[in-house]
Amino acid sequence: MALFVGCKQNSSTNAPRELVPEPDIRERLSGQKAFIDSNRMSSLFKAKIYAKEPTAETPTEVINLKWPDVIDEVYNVWYTQSNHIVCIGAYPYSQSGDWDLGFTHYFDTTSGGTFAFERNTSFYNSMCTDDLAIEQIVTYYANDRLVDSTYVFTDVKGNNLTSDSCEFPYDFPYRVYTNVSDVLKAVGIEQKNKR
């Protein structure tokens, strides 16, 4: 005995579709970011490194770990094996060593839109701890709109710090770009450098 199941197709192919809200969008976006973070150094992704010298207008690719003598900022660009950019990290260089800063944009490989942004800062001279203060801000986006954000501010031992009682002497301005093309343009990496 055979059982056949079929569906009758609706005769109206242009019926309007409803957008259903995604209740777990924050979980999906944070999972997508975690996947990229945990696989950046694996063979799943490939990377290019760029260094910007203080006198240069644009960064140059670092090949075979041959770095310029003086660096203003470093950029890491991670690609999928099919050459889609998944994230770009920008890391200004501190000559004094008093601070470390990183800005990372995460991109949807289909649309090229930014779905997450992470800012990591560690610095001395905060006036609220004798050692490094560590600040992390992560924001999540869907359709160019902020969906969620997290903020963590601790000392090196993981103890929470309150920003009201601290100095932020190395709080540099930054911008979150909406897509991969805008980031590449802003940092001076030409689209032709896309693998």
Tens digit of each residue's pLDDT, the chain (195 residues)? 443 433 444 444 454 545 546 678 999 999 999 999 999 988 899 999 999 999 999 999 999 999 999 999 999 999 999 999 999 999 998 888 888 899 999 999 999 999 999 999 988 878 888 888 899 999 999 988 999 999 999 988 998 988 888 877 777 889 999 999 999 999 999 754 443
CA–CA dist 7, 109 (Å, integer) = 33
Inter-residue contact 140 to 146 (CB < 8 Å): yes
Tokens of 120: 């990591």
| Token pair 């992390």 in the structure block, residue | 136
Asked, for residue 95, whether it belongs to a domain, the answer is: yes
Asked, for residue 2, whether it belongs to a domain, the answer is: no
Asked, for residue 36, whether it belongs to a domain, the answer is: yes
The pLDDT score that the predictor gives to residue 124 is 84
Domain of 108 in residue numbering reads as 29-193
Report angle CA 193, 194, 195 to the nearest 5 degrees. Answer: 105
Residue 126 CA: distances (Å) to CA of 26, 44, 88, 103, 169: 32, 38, 28, 20, 7
Domain count, the chain: 1
